[in-house]
């Protein structure tokens, strides 16, 4: 069995993908999971009506993402993939080969050395959901006025993150209990909402 056998939604329809993502803990949710005592806050954010559908920065990210993946030679991915152990844990890596994933970021007006703490949580979650990944290529472009900043020869930067990276080993056992609690509460809340609608 490969990750391709665990696709919850193929991502070809954005609205359907968003509906598929509501009852699961995704990588962007996991990026925020830092405090066990804040599960109620994470649940409220998860259940809040979605009002943000992107801005100029996210549009820029969508524009640059295929170029970053092509540069790295990693196939683009839109599919929502669940963990082998728990269907409620899922992720949509930007790129997905058989054993290599990719996460792409557009950094506007910033010079960075690699993933932020939240982005490392996101990567740790992708390893949970897609254990077939031996590594994830974290790829970013540093942009000034919409173009790659001078001095980079028009190329992105990248960092290969393996599952034994110290930040992945540190963050995974911290995220999992919070995510487990959050998922249980999310399922109870969605079930209650369904009963109210009857």
pLDDT of residue 51: 57
Locus of tokens 């963050």? 171
pLDDT of residue 53: 52
pLDDT of residue 196: 85
Identify the bridge partners of residue 89 per DSSP, sorted by sequence position. Answer: 25
Span 73-77, mean pLDDT?
97
If one compares 110 and 120, the residue with the highest pLDDT of the two is 120
| CATH number of the domain within which 92 lies | 3.90.320.10
Please give the residue that has the higher pLDDT: either 59 or 98: 98
* Average pLDDT over every residue of 174-180: 98
DSSP SS3 for 54: coil
Residue 21 confidence (pLDDT): 96
- Stronger pLDDT, 196 or 101, i.e. the higher one: 101
How many alpha carbons lie under 13 Å from residue 192 in its C-beta half-sphere? 7
Please report, in angstroms and rounded to a whole number, the separation of the first and last CA atoms in the chain: 38
pLDDT of residue 4 exceeding 90, the answer is yes
> What single DSSP character describes residue 136?
E
Mean pLDDT of 1-7: 93
Total structural domains in the chain? 1
Q: Which of 122, 128, 123, 124 lies closest to 89, judged by CA?
A: 128
Contact 25, 31 (CB under 8 A): no
Six-digit token string for 119? 């982005």
Average pLDDT of every residue of the chain: 92
pLDDT tier for residue 102 given thresholds of 50, 70 and 90: very high
Closest CA to 149 of 179, 92, 106: 106
* Per-residue model confidence (pLDDT) at position 14: 93
Segment 11-29, tens digit of pLDDT:
999 999 999 999 999 999 9
Helices (H), the chain: 14-21, 27-30, 39-47, 56-72, 117-129, 166-197
Q: What angle do CA 85, 31, 173 make, to 5 degrees?
A: 50
pLDDT for position 16: 96
Q: Who contacts 185 (Cβ-Cβ below 8 Å, separation ≥6)?
A: 39, 40, 43
Give me the mean pLDDT over the 85-92 stretch: 98
CA–CA distance, 147 with 20 (Å, rounded to integer):
34
CB 80 within 8 A of CB 20: yes
């Amino acid at each position: 069995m490969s990750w391709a056998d665990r696709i919850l939604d193929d991502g070809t329809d954005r609205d359907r993908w968003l509906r598929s993502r509501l009852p699961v803990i995704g990588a962007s949710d996991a990026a925020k999971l830092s405090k066990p005592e804040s599960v109620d806050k994470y649940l409220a954010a998860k259940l809040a009506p979605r009002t943000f559908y992107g801005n100029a920065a996210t549009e820029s990210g969508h524009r640059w993402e295929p170029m970053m993946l092509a540069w790295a030679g990693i196939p683009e991915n839109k599919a929502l993939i669940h963990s082998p152990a728990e269907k409620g844990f899922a992720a949509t890596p930007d790129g997905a080969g058989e054993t290599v994933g990719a996460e792409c970021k557009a950094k506007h007006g910033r010079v960075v050395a690699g993933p932020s703490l939240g982005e490392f949580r996101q990567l740790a979650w992708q390893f949970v959901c897609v254990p077939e990944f031996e590594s994830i290529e974290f790829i970013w472009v540093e942009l000034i006025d919409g173009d790659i900043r001078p001095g980079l020869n028009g190329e992105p930067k990248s960092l290969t993150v393996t599952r034994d990276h110290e930040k992945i080993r540190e963050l995974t056992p911290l995220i999992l209990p919070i995510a487990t609690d959050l998922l249980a509460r999310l399922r109870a809340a969605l079930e209650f909402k369904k009963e109210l609608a009857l």
